[in-house]
């Protein structure tokens, strides 16, 4: 009789990789497949931050910010080699958010996550501390810290750890069809091989509903919004190892972050799209990012300064808000088909991938072998 896996995971982005790592470390039989490169889509097209989500406080998402801040500390401890704290500067402008609101937001940001090794926020004099970067009208500001991360490496390290715990991983391997039998899911791969699994996890990101409809042949009762976040990489705008959180007049924020020593990473936009394949940056997005930066910095940039661009499609849960206010939290859709569990993951963000993975296994605990160990990924280093 051929091997039957405990879990089969569709999608090798950060969530799929995190689940594979966690499950394999609990002595479960795990198989993971991705139609492309592991971490090669949305998970490597982020703003490359592990952060609590300061602006989510404006949408009253205190639970998400708290979990994200706690995870920021965990990931800093387990992935020191690919993360580093970096100061973010919010230049104060009287035409936008008032000082008291920013101060309350930063107080909550410092407090919600509990004990942390990452420095707290402060009020700073920009013209004294960082002269010759911003235009003269920006004299006051606020400083807080978040983590910069190599997002693709984070996914790869989770895959590496999963392999070391005997997970089977299949890169550039497309799932073309899935059938149900009396006691397992039957997964047909593009390479003419077949896999059997007791549990099926759909972690295919922006392709989640397409996977359900076209491959698993089940209609989803959850709607998603596909929101494109675009970034530009320019020649370095300033020399200091600091990042900026720029407020824009449409109430959105733009990050300017030092990137690979010689460059500045600028993003992100939030544009709704109708397909996960529409992940190229638009001319209007480039103009939007450049205009925002030029509103703050003495050194003006143009499209000639751009050395690269990238865009990622985020699958956000439909909550009928405008794109900037749609929650970045995640939900699980667990359905039992002929006694076979199918769990689909909607939403989520890079920062909370580890906790999401842990919660997936907690949610599936009654369907897993009784000898699988408890949560462990918050202690083991990703080397």
144: domain CATH number? 3.30.9.10
Q: 3-17, 255-269, 323-337: which has the minimum mean pLDDT?
A: 323-337
pLDDT in tens, 312-338: 898 887 765 555 556 668 899 999 988
Where in the sequence is the domain holding 187, given as residue range(s)?
4-42+152-223+328-367
Q: How does residue 369 score in pLDDT terms, banded at 50, 70 and 90?
A: confident
308 and 340, same domain (yes or no):
no
Q: Is the pLDDT of residue 231 over 80?
A: yes
162 and 139, same domain (yes or no):
no
> Helices 151-164 and 14-25, interaxial angle, to 10°?
30
User: What per-residue confidence (pLDDT) applies to 318?
Assistant: 73
- Does residue 68 lie in a domain region? no
- Decide if 95 contacts 374 (C-beta within 8 A): no
pTM: 0.94
- Does residue 54 lie in a domain region? no
35 and 179, same domain (yes or no):
yes
11 and 117, same domain (yes or no):
no
- Does residue 98 lie in a domain region? yes
User: What per-residue confidence (pLDDT) applies to 241?
Assistant: 95
User: What per-residue confidence (pLDDT) applies to 43?
Assistant: 84
User: What per-residue confidence (pLDDT) applies to 322?
Assistant: 56
197 and 312, same domain (yes or no):
no
Q: How does residue 142 score in pLDDT terms, banded at 50, 70 and 90?
A: very high
Q: How does residue 12 score in pLDDT terms, banded at 50, 70 and 90?
A: very high
Mean pLDDT of the chain: 93
User: What per-residue confidence (pLDDT) applies to 317?
Assistant: 79
pLDDT in tens, 14-73: 999 999 999 999 999 999 999 999 988 888 889 999 999 999 999 899 999 999 999 999
User: What per-residue confidence (pLDDT) applies to 315?
Assistant: 85
> Helices 62-78 and 353-363, interaxial angle, to 10°?
110
pLDDT in tens, 277-310: 877 899 999 999 999 999 999 999 999 999 999 9
Q: Is the pLDDT of residue 179 over 70?
A: yes
- Quick one: average pLDDT of 258-284? 91
Please tell me the distance from the alpha carbon of residue 369 to that of residue 6, in angstroms, as a whole number: 8
Domain count for the chain, please give it.
2
Q: Indicate left, alpha or beta for 14 from its phi (over 0: left) and psi (-120 to 50: alpha).
A: alpha
- Say if residue 143 is preceded by a cis peptide, omega within 30 of 0: no
Please tell me the distance from the alpha carbon of residue 294 to that of residue 275, in angstroms, as a whole number: 31
- Does residue 350 lie in a domain region? yes
- Does residue 141 lie in a domain region? yes
232 and 211, same domain (yes or no):
no
User: What per-residue confidence (pLDDT) applies to 130?
Assistant: 93
- Does residue 37 lie in a domain region? yes
Q: Domain holding 202: CATH number? A: 3.50.50.60
User: Can you tell me which residue has the tokens 């992100």?
Assistant: 268
- Does residue 79 lie in a domain region? no
258 and 320, same domain (yes or no):
yes
165 and 313, same domain (yes or no):
no
Please tell me the distance from the alpha carbon of residue 323 to that of residue 315, in angstroms, as a whole number: 11
- Does residue 70 lie in a domain region? no
160 and 170, same domain (yes or no):
yes
Q: Is the pLDDT of residue 148 over 80?
A: yes
User: What per-residue confidence (pLDDT) applies to 323?
Assistant: 52
249 and 321, same domain (yes or no):
yes
Q: Give the residue among 367, 339, 366 at the shortest CA–CA distance from 7.
A: 367
Q: What is the 3-state secondary structure (H, E, C) of the chain?
A: CCCEEEEEEECCCHHHHHHHHHHHHCCCCEEEECCCCCCCCHHHCCCCEECCCHHHHHHCCHHHHHHHHHHHHHHHHHCHHHEEEEEEEEECCCCCCCHHHHHHHHHHHHHCCCCCCCCCCEEEEHHHHCCCCECCCCCEEEEEEEEEECHHHHHHHHHHHHHHCCCEEECCCCEEEEEECCCCEEEEECCCCEEEEEEEEECCHHHHHHHHHHHHCCCCCCCEEEEEEEEEEEECCCCCCCEEEEECCCCCEEEEEEECCCEEEEECCCEEECCCCCCCCCHHHHHHHHHHHHCCECCCCCHHHEEEEEEEEEEEECCCCCHHHCCCCEEEEEEEECCEEEEEEEECCHHHHHHHHHHHHHHCHHHCCCCCCCCCCCCCCCC
CA distances from 38 to 41, 177, 197 (A): 8, 20, 21
User: What per-residue confidence (pLDDT) applies to 27?
Assistant: 94
- Quick one: average pLDDT of 263-286? 91
255 and 119, same domain (yes or no):
yes
- Decide if 31 contacts 194 (C-beta within 8 A): no
316 and 210, same domain (yes or no):
no
Q: How does residue 204 score in pLDDT terms, banded at 50, 70 and 90?
A: very high
Q: Is the pLDDT of residue 95 over 90?
A: no
């Amino acid at each position: 009789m051929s091997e039957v896996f405990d879990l089969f995971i569709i999608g090798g982005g950060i969530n799929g990789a995190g689940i594979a790592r966690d499950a394999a470390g609990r002595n479960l039989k795990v198989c993971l497949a991705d139609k492309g490169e592991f971490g090669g889509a949305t998970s490597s097209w982020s703003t490359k931050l592990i952060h609590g989500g300061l602006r989510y406080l404006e949408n009253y998402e205190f639970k998400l910010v708290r979990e994200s801040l706690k995870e920021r500390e965990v990931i800093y401890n387990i992935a020191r080699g690919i993360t580093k704290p970096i100061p973010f500067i919010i230049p104060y402008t009287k035409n936008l958010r008032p000082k008291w609101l920013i101060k309350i937001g930063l107080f909550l940001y410092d407090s919600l996550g509990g004990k942390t090794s990452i420095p707290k926020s402060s009020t700073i004099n920009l013209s004294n501390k960082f002269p010759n970067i911003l235009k003269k009208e920006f004299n006051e500001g606020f400083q807080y810290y978040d983590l910069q991360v190599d997002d693709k490496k984070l996914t790869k390290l989770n895959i590496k750890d999963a392999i070391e715990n005997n997970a089977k991983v299949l890169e550039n391997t497309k799932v073309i069809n899935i059938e149900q039998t009396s006691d397992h899911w039957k997964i047909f791969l593009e390479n003419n091989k077949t896999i059997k699994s007791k549990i099926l996890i759909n972690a295919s990101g922006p392709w989640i509903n397409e996977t359900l409809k076209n491959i698993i042949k089940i209609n989803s009762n959850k709607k998603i919004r596909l929101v494109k976040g675009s970034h530009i990489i320019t020649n370095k705008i300033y020399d200091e190892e600091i990042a900026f959180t720029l407020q824009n007049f449409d109430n959105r924020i733009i990050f300017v972050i030092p990137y690979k020593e010689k460059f500045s990473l600028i993003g992100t936009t939030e544009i709704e799209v109708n397909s996960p394949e529409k992940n190229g940056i638009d001319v209007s997005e480039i103009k939007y990012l450049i205009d925002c930066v030029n509103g703050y910095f003495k050194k003006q940039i143009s499209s000639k300064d751009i050395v690269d661009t990238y865009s990622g499609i985020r699958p956000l849960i439909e909550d009928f808000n405008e794109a900037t206010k749609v929650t970045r939290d995640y939900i699980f859709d667990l359905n039992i088909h002929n006694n076979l569990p199918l769990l689909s993951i909607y939403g989520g963000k890079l920062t909370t991938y580890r906790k999401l993975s842990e919660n997936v296994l907690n949610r599936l605990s009654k369907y897993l072998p009784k000898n699988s160990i408890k949560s462990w990924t918050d202690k083991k280093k990703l080397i």
